[in-house]
Amino acid sequence: MAAVKQTGRFRMLRWLGDDRAAASARRRLLPEGRLAGPMPWIIAIMMFLTILAAALAMAMGQARGALGSALAGRVTIQIIDADPQARNVQTQTLDGRLRNIGWIAAVHVVPETELAEQLRPWLGGDPAEADLPIPALIDVDLASGVGGDRRAELSRIVKGVAPSARVQAHADFLSPLLSMLASLGWLSIAIVVLMVLATGAVVVLAARSAHATHRGTIETLHMMGATDVQIARLFQRRIALDALLGSLAGFTLAVPVLLLLAQRAGALDSGLIGAAALPPLAWPALALFPLGAVLVAAGAARFTVLRALGQTL
């Protein structure tokens, strides 16, 4: 009869989750918590690194998409004839012919003075004074959706007017840069996955340690009529709370770092670095990471404790 009363008392404490006695029992079972043990601090460090890696992956994806779309239809024509008069005639002829082609959106002949200004820091003076021939440059913007067959046709048109000219697509020239951005993005995603696995491993170790430490208390609870699921829920609550506190601490530390990096990148006034800015939906997505850490920690703790209890009995 006494055993029945004690079993009913435990079940009452279990269902009344906000009762002081139930809360006191959970604290006695798992006394560590609220940043008192090492696990919340470890999760905070891993969440900090995870947020940075995830932000880097999003920024690299944004930069690759922006550069890819900007360079998809850009072509530069270099007319390198040594004779200035012939070079000017070829440039004017190509300028007039390319402007009449329907699948070419824009044609821009780069002024010679602008090229001279760009070469001045490298040559240490005026290229005209050094009697150096400056190639003529024509920037061409192809219409949206133009494929490689049109680029081949453009090359044939250019070669027909200026046989020594070079036709260079910006996407081909910068393809190694786009590949590097893609590699950095995938590497950042791999780091995020490894951090998630590491978080799960830390939770598993913490749950096993807590189970081994409180084995006597668990046996007493079993004799009072507690089920494995009820006991596992006690571990799950405490570890989920530790994970929540740790992940929020890591996220709070990562946000100022990202804002500082964004400010420094904006001060550089670089088109490439500006393209790597975080997309608008990046911050809401990053805010979901602490919630994901709590779910991973709660699931790993529940699975570990239930498995340990099943092996014990």
For 49-72, write each residue's pLDDT tens digit: 999 999 998 888 888 877 776 676
Calculate the alpha carbon distances from 270 to 163, 166, 174, 211, 256 in Å. 36, 27, 16, 55, 22
Q: What is the pLDDT of residue 124?
A: 63
Quick one: pLDDT at residue 272? 59
Q: pLDDT class for 132, splitting at 50, 70, 90?
A: low
* Alpha-carbon distance values, 264 to 51, 64, 84, 250, 276 (Å): 18, 20, 44, 22, 13
Overall average pLDDT of the 289-297 stretch: 91
**What integer pLDDT is reported at residue 312 of this predicted model?**
62
* DSSP assignment letter at 231: H
Average pLDDT score over residue span 175-200: 89
pLDDT at residue 129 above 70?
Answer: no
Spatial separation of the C-alpha atoms in residues 77 and 87, rounded to whole Å? 12
CA distances from 168 to 160, 196, 226 (A): 16, 44, 75
Mean pLDDT of 3-23: 45
What's the pLDDT tens digit per position in 203-257?
Answer: 888 888 777 776 666 666 667 766 777 777 877 888 888 889 999 999 999 999 9
Q: Is the pLDDT of residue 170 over 80?
A: no
Determine contact, residues 157/138, Cβ cutoff 8 Å: no
Name the pTM for this structure. 0.69
Res. 171: pLDDT tops 90: no
**Which band of pLDDT confidence, cut at 50, 70 and 90, is reported for residue 270?**
low
